[in-house]
Amino acid sequence: MLQPSPSRKRRGRLLRSGAAFVVLLAVAGYLTVQYVTGGAPGCEVVSAEDDRTTYEFTPEQAVNAATITAVGTARDLPERAVTIALATALQESTLRNIDYGDRDSLGLFQQRPSQGWGTPKEIMDPAYSAAKFYDELVEVPDYTRLPLTVAAQRVQRSGFPEAYAKHETDARLLAAALTGRSAATLTCEGRPGAARAQGPDAVRAALVRDFGQGVLQSAGAAVDDTSATPTASPSPSPSPSPSPSPSPSPSPSTGGTGGSDGRTVTLPVTGSGAEERLGQRGWQLAHWAVANATSLRIERVSYAGREWTAGSTDSKWRPTGAGSAGGAERAAGAVRITSAR
């Protein structure tokens, strides 16, 4: 029996070693992507203008983007302010609430306790850190007219000021959807398996955390049924005001908008404002709910004759038959947020 020559053995070992090295590189690359992005993309925002420009992001990033946007709009700041904030957080932390950074930098905006941004605990609260960013941004003269990189740099004083520019397109897409200006453009897969909080109480607590106490008072939020079991707040946040008396909800429609089972929070979108403004507010709340679907175990969101359902194959907003097309699609109505069982 012929024995392989020493040179052939060496070649075989080299080939096996090379193959193993390639596999290790592939695994390392995959883990690096997961580390940088915070997981596999599960959410997507699509441009309302061309339907081709998209941005994919993770549920963790979606929650943080929704919080940054809600804090800005609760202050009546323009969409440009939200775009600047989102682009800044994309650059500083990839929209992840990280507890490390250069020197003592922390959180979404990599703010430093030693520079007067707050305590580490405060900075690690996304709503607080977003509010501090806006506090500084509004002090920049004519910030809405400045290039995004200039406005962001006036707040951040980064060593790489031009880096913010590469995130402007994605930030604009996110801002358009999360402020509600672009209707039915944000979707998530909504995988609730690892969620820590669920139920209407958790949804209302998160709404107050991001938008402030007035979000429930002005919207007159109601739960479909008093049988809902209270759950813990998803994070240390202000306690919502006592809920109004539950209001009866319509029975399930063909589109599956949910029934009176104690799982649905209804947010009426009413007021004396223009129809378009009210519609934008409705879509902001609806997109906020979808962005928080995984963390709050939200199963279904409906507004203006459209409905999003967690776990569907394509996560699209689908017509429910409960609303008419055209301009009425943005008309005042109610956002319905249904928690998973």
User: How many other β-carbons are positioned within 10 Å of the β-carbon of residue 90?
Assistant: 25
- Phi and psi (nearest 5°) for 305? 75, 10
* Cα–Cα distance for residue pair 94/57, rounded to 1 Å: 10
What are the distances in angstroms from CA 94 to CA 57, 157, 170? 10, 18, 12
Q: What is the pLDDT of residue 68?
A: 98
213 by DSSP, 3-state: which?
coil
Decide: 61 and 42 in contact? Cβ < 8 Å: no
The dihedral built from the CA positions of residue 122, 123, 127 and 129, taken in this order, carries a sign that is: positive
Rg (CA), the chain: 23
- Phi and psi (nearest 5°) for 315? 55, 30
Decide: 340 and 262 in contact? Cβ < 8 Å: no
DSSP characters over 104-171 = T-BTTTTB-GGGTS--HHHHTSHHHHHHHHHHHHTTSTTGGGS-HHHHHHHHH--S-GGGGGGGHHHH
11 by DSSP, 3-state: which?
helix
* Contacts of 176 by beta carbon, 8 Å cutoff, 6+ apart: 45, 47, 48, 79, 182, 185
Give first-to-last CA distance, the chain, whole Å.
68
- In the sheet that 318-319 helps form, which strands lie side by side, from edge to edge? 222-223, 264-268, 334-339, 298-303, 306-309, 318-319
- In the sheet that 186-188 helps form, which strands lie side by side, from edge to edge? 54-57, 43-46, 186-188
Give me the amino acid identity at 291: A
Mean per-residue pLDDT pooled into runs of 10, the chain (341 residues)? 56 54 42 45 92 92 98 97 98 97 95 97 98 98 97 94 95 98 95 68 96 76 45 36 33 37 88 81 97 94 96 85 46 84 83
Decide: 251 and 307 in contact? Cβ < 8 Å: no
Task: For residue 218, give the H/E element and its range.
Answer: helix 214-219
Decide: 171 and 57 in contact? Cβ < 8 Å: no
What are the distances in angstroms from CA 117 to CA 48, 164, 238? 36, 20, 21
Query: Nearest Cα to 79, choosing from 172, 183, 211?
Result: 172
* Contacts of 334 by beta carbon, 8 Å cutoff, 6+ apart: 266, 267, 268, 269, 282, 303
* Cα–Cα distance for residue pair 221/248, rounded to 1 Å: 12
* Contacts of 125 by beta carbon, 8 Å cutoff, 6+ apart: 235, 236
Tokens of 282: 């409705």
